[in-house]
Amino acid sequence: MSKIKVETCNIEGLKVITPTVFGDERGYFMETYNYNDFKEAGIDYNFVQDNQSASKKGVLRGLHFQIDFPQDKLVRVIRGEVFDVVVDMRKGSKTYGQWFGVRLSEENKKMFFIPKNFAHGFLVLSDYAEFTYKCTDFYHPNDEGGVIWNDPDIGIDWPIEPGTELTISDKDTKWPRFKDIKR
């Protein structure tokens, strides 16, 4: 029996995964990845690299994608909370240019599976967050593309609290709009 619950999303290929958590007075235990459970759920991929980042409240990272070496990703938050967002970049997809967002936190322990050819980013909602992700291809430093985080054509409804000062890298403020990307 699988130890994960998998929810499909309104965009084909995206999956929100909730693991079974076993808790008692000592704390809790959960499997964060079990190949057999994920394969049974239709997520049969060979992850080759794990990454982790830490960010403070108001940090917005993204929206990033890989150009020639696209990656499938399995993301989760191990401390704090983020609003995780993807934009469908798959030419020919019936949801091309549409976005989906989910709250990932240390409390809900949800994971988010993102197939290749999606732009990805997140906003830190807690005072501090640690974000981890598994990838199906290695990082290629000269292969990154991006979409501006506040593209009005996409219309992402970022949950930015009044008074929150965003921290965005210089690179992430210069990405083009979705309609201007040649793919």
Q: Rounded to the nearest 5°, which phi and psi values hold at 104?
A: -115, 135
Q: Which of 28, 33, 64, 140 is catalytic?
A: 64
Size (the chain), residues: 183
Whether residue 128 lies in the annotated active site: no
Catalytically annotated residue among 45, 128, 133, 140: 133
**What are the Cα distances from residue 96, in Å, to 87, 93, 163?**
8, 5, 33
Beginning with the edge strand found earlier in the chain, give each strand of the sheet holding 111-114 in spatial order: 4-8, 15-19, 111-114, 73-79, 128-135, 49-56
Q: Token pair 């809900």 is at which residue?
A: 108
Active site residue 140: no
Enzyme catalytic residues: 64, 133
